[in-house]
Amino acid sequence: MKKFIHFFFLLSVTFSFSQTTELEFEKMVESESKSAASTMNVQVNPNTQNYDVTYHELRFTVNPNNTTASISGIVKTTFTALANMNTITFDMATQLVVSSVTMNSVNLTYSQSNYELNINFPSTISSGTSASVIITYAGIPPTAEGAFTRSTHNGTPVIYTLSEPFGARDWWPCKQDLNDKINSFDMYITAPATFNSVSNGLEQSRIVTGANATTHFKHLYPIPAYLIVLNVTNYEVYNQQGGLGTVASPYFPIINYLYPETNTATTQTQLGVTPTIINFFESILEPYPFRNEKYGHAQFGWGGGMEHTTVSSMFNFSRDLIAHEMAHQWFGDKITCGTWKDIWLNEGLTEYMSGMVYEFLDGASTFVNWKSNKITSITSQLGGATYLTDAGALNVNTIFSSRLTYNKGSMITHMLRWKLGDVKFFQALKSYLADPALAYGYAVTANLKSHLEAADNGNSLTEFFNDWLYNQGYPTYTITAQNWGTGQVKIIVNQTQSHSSVTFFEMPLEIRLTGSGAQVLDVVVNNTTNAQEFIVSVPFVVTGVAFDPNKHIISKNNTATLGTETFDMNSAISVYPVPSENELTIQFPSNVTLYKVEIYNNLGQLLKTDFKNILDISGLSSGVHFLKIETSEGIFHKNFIKK
C-alpha cells in the first residue's frame, strides 16, 4: 500500500535496528500508501454496488519513450447483475477520455463526470444475468495519486503502476471498492519491442509486430483492482525456484524483473534469501496461495515496495522488504481487508511475518530487539487505535500509519501468539487462510477473531480486542517480588494506563527471576486485576527481578523491584472468610505441609481436631475461636470469629 510520509514523522519513528533500516521501513510504508492527498472521498461508491465483476480482458498500449505518461486501452468487462440494471457505473478518472462503449457490437451511450463512467443499456439487464461491455479510451492519467507513473532509471524510460489504495481508476475503468474481486483477467500490453512488460500471473506469449511487442499475461485467481499491475522498461529476468517441493506441493517459479544496471551479483545475492523466506512461510502458514502461477519481483521507482499479486514491485531488495511484501501474498492478496478500517489484517499480520523472519534466521535475541523497537515506536505517543474509525478510514495517513497500522498491528499479532501459544496461534492462522468464506476474498477483524477463539477452545478474546485493538494506549507495570519462604516468591502486579479508553489491560505477563549463581527462571502470571498477588515456586533464592524480558507486551516505563522485607511464615498463613459461618479455609505457601489442626474456644477447651486445611465449623457456637496449626515449618496460632 502507499502514502507520502511527512518529514517530521519520518524523524519521529523509532522502529529499526539502525537509521538505515528505519528509513527503509518508512519508505516501504510510503510506497504502500502513496497518495498526495491526505483525505479523499473513498466511501463505497453506491453506484457500483449492483453488479459483480467476473472477468476483465485488458488491452493497453503504452510507450515509455513518450514524454507524457499516456495510455490507451480497450477494456472488456464481464459482470453479473445483482439487481435489474438499466445503467452501469465504473470508477474512472475523468482525464481518461472514452471514445466508444459497445455491447454485443452495438454502440452504447455514456457520460463521464466526477471520476465515474456511466453507461446506458438499450434494455434492462435482469438480476442474475451476465453481460459484457467493451470500453475504448485514451488519455494521460492524473498525477495526484501517482498510480500511473512515467520515469527513468539510469537514463532509460520506465512506466510503472501502484494503485493502492485508490488509484486503479486513474488508468483504467474499474470497480475499486473493497467488496468485489475480479475472478480472473487477461492483460495484453503493447509497448516498444526494446522493452519487456510485466503483470500479474503467468506470461502466455510475447508477439513482436514491427517496432512493438504485445505481451499477454493471464491471472486465474480472484484479485481486487488495486493489486493489478502494469510495468514496462528494459527489464532483465533473473529466475529462481520456490516451494518445499513435496509431492502435494511442487516447486513454482520465482521470476525477478530487474533493471539491467542492478542485475548484478550483489542483487542476486540479496535475492538469494527469497526461496528461504517463502519456504519458511509455507511451513508455518500454508502453501503459497498462487502456486499455479508465479512469485517474483519487479523493480520500480517508488521507495519501498508494493504487494502486487504474484509480482511485488520493489525499489530495492533488502531482506525486510522482501519478507514484508512476500507475506502480503497470504495477508492482503489471498485474503484482503474488507474495509480500510480493517487494514491491520493486511499490514499488521504481514509486518509480524517479516519479524518472524528475524526469529527464524537470526535467533531469539534479534527478534527481541525487533519487538523492542516496535514497542518504542508504538509508545512514543499516549494514544491511538489500530482499528480505524469511519473518519480515519477516509484518511490515507491514518490508514497507513507506521506506528499504529504496521507496528502496533504487528505487536498485537505477537501478543495473540503469546496469549494463545504457538500451536493454537498457527492453527488459527491456517484455518483463517483456509476458510472457504474468506479465501481469495475479503475479511474483517471479526473473522480473524472467530478463528482465534475457535483455536483457543472457544475462549472469548473480546476483552483482548477491546483493550488492544479497538481502544487506545498501553499499560505501565509496577512489579514487586519478595522471597516468600523456602523455594517461593510472592509477586505483586500493579498497572496504570496511558489512555482513559482502557481501564485495565488483561494479559499473561512474563517475569524473570534471577539468583546469585547465575540462576534464571522465567515465570508467567495471568494478570487480570490491579494489586494482584501470585506465589510461585523458585528453586533458588531470588536476588533480582525483571519484567517482560522477551518483549511480549506493549508497555512503557515499567519497574520491577525485589522487596527486602524478612519473610514471616506466620503472616504467610491465613484463614478465611472472616467471620466464618459453616466453613473455614487455611491457606499455606505451597512448600508447607499440614500435619494437624486443633480448634479451641475462648476458655482454652479443645473442641475439634482435623487434618485438612478446609474445616467444617457449622457445629461451633458463635464467637471467637482459636486454631493451633501444626506444620512442617512449625506450630502457628490463628483466631477466627464464628457467626
Of 637 and 347, which is predicted with more confidence? 347
The fold adopted by the segment(s) 573-642 is Immunoglobulin-like (2.60.40)
Burial class (CB in 10 A: 0-12, 13-18, 19+), 10: middle
Rounded distance between C-alpha atoms, residue 643 and residue 641, angstroms? 6
Q: Kindly report which listed range (29-33, 370-374, 417-421, 476-480) carries the lowest average pLDDT score.
A: 29-33
With 60 as the cut, is the pLDDT of residue 8 above it? no
Cβ pair 171, 148 in contact under 8 A = yes
Domains 475-562 and 573-642 share a fold: yes
Q: Is 175 exposed, middle or buried (0-12, 13-18, 19+ CB in 10 A)?
A: buried
Per-residue confidence (pLDDT) for residue 23, from 0 to 100:
67
d(CA 351, CA 16): 13
> What integer pLDDT is reported at residue 281 of this predicted model?
97
The pLDDT score that the predictor gives to residue 34 is 56
Q: What is the pLDDT of residue 37?
A: 43
* Summary mean pLDDT of the chain: 91
Tally of helices (H runs) and strands (E runs) in the chain: 13, 36
- What are 345-375's pLDDT values in tens digits? 999 999 999 999 999 999 999 999 999 999 9
pLDDT higher than 90, residue 138: yes
Degrees to nearest 5, angle at CA 163 with 157 and 165: 150
**pLDDT tens-digit map of 49-82:** 999 999 999 999 999 999 999 999 999 999 999 9
Residue 437 has pLDDT above 60, yes or no: yes
Q: Dump pLDDT digits (tens) for 391-428.
A: 888 788 888 899 999 999 999 999 999 999 999 999 99
At residue 635, the pLDDT reads 87
Cα–Cα distance measured from residue 261 to residue 264, given in angstroms and rounded to the nearest whole number:
7
Nearest alpha carbon to residue 193 among 206, 215, 211, 217: 211
Instruction: List b or e across 105-144, with b for residues whose CB sees 16 or more CB atoms inside 10 angstroms.
Output: eeebebebeebbbbbebeeebeeeeebebbbebebbbbee
Residue 27 has pLDDT above 70, yes or no: no
Q: Which amino acid would we find at residue 332?
A: G
Q: Which of 502, 512, 587 shows the shortest CA–CA distance to 545?
A: 512
Q: How many residues does the chain have?
A: 643
Look at residue 635 and give its three-state secondary structure: strand
Residue 158 DSSP SS3: strand
Q: Where are the strands (E) in 278-377, listed by range?
A: 295-299, 305-306, 312-314, 336-337
Give me the pLDDT at residue 176, please: 87
What would the pLDDT profile of 503-539 be if each residue is shown by its tens digit? Answer: 999 999 999 999 998 999 999 999 999 999 999 999 9
Mean pLDDT calculated for residue range 175-195: 95
Tell me how far apart the alpha carbons of residues 136 and 415 are, in angstroms, rounded to a whole number: 51
Residue 13 has pLDDT above 90, yes or no: no
Residues in Cβ contact with 381 at an 8 Å cutoff, skipping those fewer than 6 apart: 403
Residue-range domain boundaries for the chain = 1-31+239-470, 34-234, 475-562, 573-642
Q: What three-state secondary structure class fits 533?
A: strand
Q: Which three cell numbers stand for residue 342?
A: 480493517
Q: Which CATH architecture has domain 1-31+239-470?
A: Orthogonal Bundle (1.10)
> What's the pLDDT at 144?
79
Residue 571: the pLDDT is 72
Q: Would you say 398 and 392 are in contact if contact means Cβ atoms under 8 Å apart?
A: yes
Q: What is the DSSP string of 605-624?
A: -EEEEESSSEEE-TTSPSEE
Res 589: pLDDT: 76
Given the candidates 2.60.40.1840, 3.90.110.10, 3.20.20.70, 2.60.40.10, the CATH classification of the domain at 475-562 is 2.60.40.1840
User: 100 Cβ partners below 8 Å, 6+ apart?
Assistant: 107, 134, 135, 136
Of residues 635 and 41, more confidence is placed in 635
Is the pLDDT confidence value at 98 over 90?
yes
Share above pLDDT 70 across residues of the chain, in percent, rounded to a whole number: 92
Beta strands 574-576 and 559-562 are unpaired
What pLDDT does 394 receive?
A: 76
Q: For the residues 484-501, what does the mean pLDDT come to?
A: 93
Architecture of domain 34-234 in this structure: Sandwich (2.60)
Give just the sign of the alpha carbon dihedral 167, 172, 177, 179.
negative
Q: Radius of gyration over alpha carbons of the chain, in Å?
A: 32
Which run of H or of E encompasses 276?
helix 274-284
Model confidence pTM above 0.95: no
d(CA 469, CA 74): 44
Grouping H, G, I as helix, E, B as strand and the rest as coil, residue 119 is: strand
d(CA 520, CA 526): 20
